[in-house]
Amino acid sequence: MNIGNKEYKKYVEAHAQKSPCLRNCVHAFLSGGAICCAAQGLTQLYKCLGATESLAPSITSITLIFITALLTGIGIFDNIAKWAGAGTLVPITGFANSVVSPALDNKAEGWVMGVGAKIFTVAGPVILYGTLAGAVYGVIYALFIR
């Protein structure tokens, strides 16, 4: 079967499943909002337990990373992400999942060549270029803005 690009595009559009965009947006909004509300609640809880104003958000971030890594490790986070869609990409939870998932996928290859080598395959470039951009901006700030 030899068809052109236009015919193929028409064929794909006719047979592709339509995405429930509105439903996906509502799920993302609700789940992302729930994660953010839970984080704010944790921050307030840590403040009530005696954490300082500057320490409570850090403890909250660590807690969210731990919970996401744990839920990813036991296979629950994937089910949540299927329902929530982009709502689980709230930066800290999405980042934690992107670090843990490749490590779990490659654990059969061993601790060094599997987990150790693959743990930062997705998050590594983010860390590298984020750090590099921070250093470049720091130099620009020190030389020109200060």
44 and 80 belong to one structural domain:
yes
Domain count, the chain: 2
User: What whole-number distance in Å separates Cα of residue 80 and Cα of residue 85?
Assistant: 8
Residue 110 sits in the same domain as residue 80: no
Query: Is residue 11, in this structure, part of any structural domain at all?
Result: no
pLDDT tens digit sequence for 77-122: 989 999 998 898 887 888 888 888 888 877 777 777 777 777 778 7
Domain that holds residue 58: 21-88
| pTM tops 0.85 | no
> Do both 45 and 78 map to the same domain?
yes
Residue 12 lies in a domain: no
Tell me the C-alpha distance between 19 and 39, whole Å: 30
User: Higher confidence at residue 68 or residue 110?
Assistant: 68
Sequence-distant (6+) residues with CB within 8 A of 84 are 27, 28, 30, 31, 32
CA 139 – CA 145 distance, rounded (Å): 10
Backbone torsions φ then ψ of 49, nearest 5 degrees: -85, 0
The verdict on residue 81 lying in a domain is: yes
